[in-house]
Amino acid sequence: MATRTDAPTRREQILKEAARLFAERGFHGVGVDEIGAAVGISGPGLYRHFAGKDAMLAELLVGISGQLLTGAKRRVAEVDGGPADAVLDSLIEGHIDFALDDRPLITLHDRELDRLRDSDRKLVRQLQRQYVELWVEVLRKVYPGIAEPAARSAVHSVFGLLNSTPHLGRPGSLPGRGATAELLHRMARGAFAAAAAE
């Protein structure tokens, strides 16, 4: 979910290809030699960057959870003092960027989270809870009448909606990134409004 324009490091290249391959064929369906070949180095050369596939998986899943939380905090701070609607829109935009640009990580999270060591899995869950609670707080400012449990359910439901992008077909089959992002944004706001209208 980065907006960086500088070239990715070798480590980042490895992680990107590992995420793509793991999402396509499953964690156990990919060997280190294949990941190495995808970035132009030998499989054993990967061990200069990672202890093994398990370490790559942990960095991918813990990393994206941390990035989402950090990005959300930054977006809230950027609109600090502004209307709550603008904060919510910014949070939605940030998550849509993730959902459209990091689709393999969504698939990876759904399929492979249980393969993480307990400590890494707990860290992922902790980061995710903080991310959800940040959204809940903002949502309740936009819709003060919505109860906290309903707000939390609505946030999880919208995440499910936005994170459905891996199931929308091949990237080239979508109506275009801009149009897809706008559609997802309207649907997210519509879902939140419906939850608040109860």
Give the list of residues 6+ apart from residue 180 with CB closer than 8 angstroms, or none. 100, 165, 168, 174
Alpha-carbon dihedral angle through residues 154, 159, 164, 165, given to the nearest 10 degrees: 130
pLDDT at 84 (0 to 100): 95
Report, as ranges of residue numbers, the positions in the chain whose pLDDT lies below 50.
1-4
Which amino acid type is present at position 45?
A: G
Q: CA-to-CA distance for 16 and 147, rounded, in angstroms?
A: 39
- pLDDT for 174 equals 66
pTM above the 0.85 mark?
yes
What b/e readout covers 44-58, taking b as 16+ CB neighbours within 10 angstroms?
eebeebbeebeebbb
What is the rounded (10 degree) CA torsion for 151, 152, 157, 158?
70
pLDDT in tens, 109-165: 999 999 999 999 999 999 999 999 999 999 999 999 999 999 999 999 999 999 998
Distance CA 158, CA 160 (A): 5
What pLDDT, on a 0 to 100 scale, did the predictor assign at position 2?
Answer: 45
